[in-house]
Amino acid sequence: MSKGKDTKPHIGIFGRRNNGKSSFINALSGQELAIVSEVAGTTTDPVKKSMEIPGIGPVIIIDTAGIDDTGELGAKRVSKTREVLNTIDAAILLITGNAFDETERGLVGELTDRSVPFLLIHNKSDLQPLSATLGRVLEETYGVPVIDLSAIRNPEIESVISALKKLIPETAYNSQSLLGDLISYGDTVLLITPIDIEAPEGRMILPQVQAIRDILDHDGIAVVCKEREVDSYLRKMNLKPALAITDSQIFLKADASVPKDIPLTSFSILLARQRGDFQNYLKGTPHIARLKDGDRVLILESCTHHVSCDDIGRVKIPRWLGNYTGKKLEYEVVAGLTGLPRDIHDYAMVIQCGGCVITRKQIVNRLKPAVDAGIPVTNYGMAIAWVHGIYNRAVTPFTGNDEKNESYL
């Protein structure tokens, strides 16, 4: 399954084999998106499907294998299904025949642990309707609606859509603005965007494009230039920018070029606040100063990409950390949303990329094991600002100034 490639809300469909998950997806979408078969276990690996839900908009539906699969291969399929729990904003659990036992309770427990809202659907009501007693017990126990339907004969999809609209957190489809609360009508924002070996040919990187759009959406003026033109622009223009945003890799040059009375931050830190675990980043970043010889640092990339000879996560950040700490550190890089090569307790620190191609829920769940274990977490841009000695300036636009910020240093 291709993971971490879409920022739309992700909804996982779960249930035992032959509970009608594929039929339900087809009824929900009004299309034949999933293969339907009477043979249990037709769906083997999680499969993403794009669709539009009225009132919510574009979403990604994830069709999963049965949570009751057996045998060695079945266990691997169930493991793949459980991995989906880390990538979704909401879940739908299908039951049939009034069967709800440890299999379902275990899954609901994992959803609850990850703070994933869920909906219960009793499918195949044409064969056996939902027991009033079971429906009442489930609703009282979990505080969620239980919908009785037949995905094939009497879908009643409107009730499902209505429940989904209440279920999915608004933050999943109405993203927090990158910088709308930092600027006012007519403000100028200076975007410092280097064009180097890592810049895509003929294009700009996604966070830069997102920032430009957000500025325009909030009636601001976006001024874009390379780092070499910053001094010339500031010298010639009388209008002082309300905010300057730089690529993290040239933080030092931007800090030197942009006057101290102009707030300065980075694209990566903007993304960290919008869709990352920002408060835990603020707590975790200062731990860089306490890293010791032999500490293992986990670097999390959200997507797979071409690795250049001067890659930001694999080359530059390790080099900057080594120079700053003077310690011999070990590094492991994990791309996408795949599992970790070792236990989370084996790491002294976790550094997450900006996460421009995944959802906030995916990032938060990705970092949750480290946060729960008390392992410091940070973000590319915040880590880079720290080792370059300009962390306080870089986070001040979001945290306030002076005394409040000093607590992080």
Which residues are CB-neighbours of 274 under 8 A, at least 6 positions away?
Answer: 175, 176, 177, 178, 360
Q: What is the domain partition of the chain in residue ranges?
A: 10-173, 188-270, 277-387
- The yes/no answer on whether domain 277-387 falls in CATH 3.40.50.11410 is yes
Positions of the chain with pLDDT under 70: 1-7, 31-45, 55, 154-155, 169-176, 196-201, 303-310, 401-409
**Identical fold between 188-270 and 277-387:** yes
The whole-number pLDDT of residue 79 equals 86
The whole-number pLDDT of residue 308 equals 54
Which residues are CB-neighbours of 47 under 8 A, at least 6 positions away?
Answer: 1, 34, 62, 63
The whole-number pLDDT of residue 402 equals 44
Amino acid (one-letter) located at 201: E
The whole-number pLDDT of residue 134 equals 96
Q: Cα separation of 146 and 134, whole Å?
A: 9
What are 142-171's pLDDT values in tens digits? 998 899 999 888 667 888 888 888 887 665
Amino acid (one-letter) located at 359: T
Candidates 108, 59, 123; CA nearest to 88 is 59
Report the percentage of the chain scoring pLDDT > 90: 52
Amino acid (one-letter) located at 142: Y
The whole-number pLDDT of residue 212 equals 95
Choosing among 3.40.640.10, 3.40.50.300, 3.20.20.80, 3.30.1330.10, the CATH entry for 10-173 is 3.40.50.300
Q: Is residue 295 within 8 Å of residue 281, measured between CB atoms?
A: no
Please state, as a whole number, how many other Cβ atoms lie within 10 Å of the Cβ of residue 311.
17
Query: What CATH number belongs to 188-270?
Result: 3.40.50.11420
